[in-house]
Amino acid sequence: MQKLLLSIDKFSTFVGQAFSWLIVALTFMISWEVFSRYVLDQPHPWAFDVMIMLYGTMFMMAGAYTLAKAGHVRGDVLYGFFEPRTQATIDLILYILFFMPGVFALTYAGYFYAAESWAMHEHSNVTAEGPPIYPFKTILPLAGAVLLLQGIVEVIRCVICIRQNQWPSREADVEEVDVNKLKEMVQVKDEDIASLDKFIVRGGATK
């Protein structure tokens, strides 16, 4: 079971990292549009629509990746003090009551929303030469499906944690700097830092 969960984590990570490259395309496009508008005096009316679609695609397709890394915002004022079994129970209730119905509705309604857009070859009406938006609307059910799959994994993790009172492991990824691990790597103790602080304070007082 753990191998299956980690495999889906890897899939969500791959999808999120693959679509994250859209930020590079978005950066180049914004830079070119600014240059074209203010230097060449040749603005493109469709550029703003395309920028929104690129950013929206990247944002939506990163949802499952963020969930796999437990990176979504949560109210952690009291949650962090609970034991793992209590945390898992709270998460499981919230997943069942809010997350799963909402994401399922997004996937289900998004499919028909995208299908209708493809049927009429819908274009943006913000500008006269609006770009096609039916590929962008296809991202709705696609992102919803990937997020729903990752949500099922999180529900299973909650059940495992309730039984074992310990969270199962996740797919490793880039993390923020862990100060304690950094201290272990450079073999520095808190006592050494405290003594260094005293030395700095004394040196400043002497000056």
Q: 34: Cβ–Cβ under 8 A, 6 or more apart, which residues?
A: none
The answer to whether 84 touches 92, Cβ cutoff 8 Å, is no
Residue 23 pLDDT exceeds 70: yes
Residue 62 pLDDT exceeds 80: yes
Q: How many CB atoms lie within 10 A of CB 185?
A: 9
- Give the pLDDT confidence score for residue 40 in this predicted structure: 92
What whole-number distance in Å separates Cα of residue 105 and Cα of residue 144? 9
The answer to whether 49 touches 124, Cβ cutoff 8 Å, is yes
What whole-number distance in Å separates Cα of residue 86 and Cα of residue 92? 10
Q: 66: Cβ–Cβ under 8 A, 6 or more apart, which residues?
A: 16, 72
140, 165: one domain: yes
* Strand ranges in the chain using DSSP code E only, listed in sequence order: none
152, 118: one domain: yes
What whole-number distance in Å separates Cα of residue 57 and Cα of residue 131? 15
135, 189: one domain: no
What whole-number distance in Å separates Cα of residue 6 and Cα of residue 157? 11
Percent of the chain, pLDDT > 70? 82
104, 204: one domain: no
Least confident of 8-22, 37-51, 52-66, 164-178: 164-178
Q: How many domains is the chain partitioned into structurally?
A: 2
Q: 149: Cβ–Cβ under 8 A, 6 or more apart, which residues?
A: 8, 11, 12, 64
Residue 65 pLDDT exceeds 80: yes
Least confident of 22-36, 50-64, 116-130: 116-130
Please report the sign of the dihedral spanned by the C-alpha atoms of residue 155, residue 159, residue 161, residue 165: positive
Span 101-113, pLDDT tens digits: 999 999 999 999 9
| Residue ranges making up the domain that contains 137 | 2-175
94, 195: one domain: no
149, 190: one domain: no
Give the mean model confidence (pLDDT) for residues 149-172. 91
106, 21: one domain: yes
62, 97: one domain: yes
122, 69: one domain: yes
| Higher per-residue pLDDT: 73 or 19 | 19
188, 159: one domain: no
- Give the pLDDT confidence score for residue 94 in this predicted structure: 94
Give the mean model confidence (pLDDT) for residues 24-34. 95
Q: How many CB atoms lie within 10 A of CB 165?
A: 12
- Give the pLDDT confidence score for residue 72 in this predicted structure: 83
Span 169-199, pLDDT tens digits: 887 665 555 556 666 776 667 666 666 655 5
| Higher per-residue pLDDT: 76 or 64 | 64
99, 194: one domain: no
Mean pLDDT of the residues in the chain = 86
The answer to whether 104 touches 110, Cβ cutoff 8 Å, is no
138, 114: one domain: yes
